[in-house]
Amino acid sequence: MGLFFFRYNRDSFYPISIIVQYKKIIDNNSSIERLKSTLYNHIIEMFNGVIDESFIKQRYIIAYVHVKMAIST
């Protein structure tokens, strides 16, 4: 195992208040299961050591969607 170890639980990461606040948007555009998977991939990509054009483009897309939905970070 490397120097970095992260234990991630997909089933308990999103606080219920976030889910309730954005339930309509999530239901219309995605699903909780898809968001859990997307977040998991995002976290893995953040720490895999590869920062290239694809990585930057994906972070830009994520930021754009959050701004469009008025989600604060």
pLDDT in tens, 8-67: 566 665 555 566 677 778 788 888 788 888 888 888 888 888 899 999 999 999 889 888
Place of tokens 């992260």: 6
- 31 Cα distance to chain centroid: 12
Band the pLDDT of 2: cuts 50, 70, 90: very low
Give the integer Cα–Cα distance in Å for 37 and 32.
9
Residue carrying structure tokens 């490397």: 2
Contact 61, 42 (CB under 8 A): no
- Count the helices and strands in the chain (H runs, E runs): 4, 0
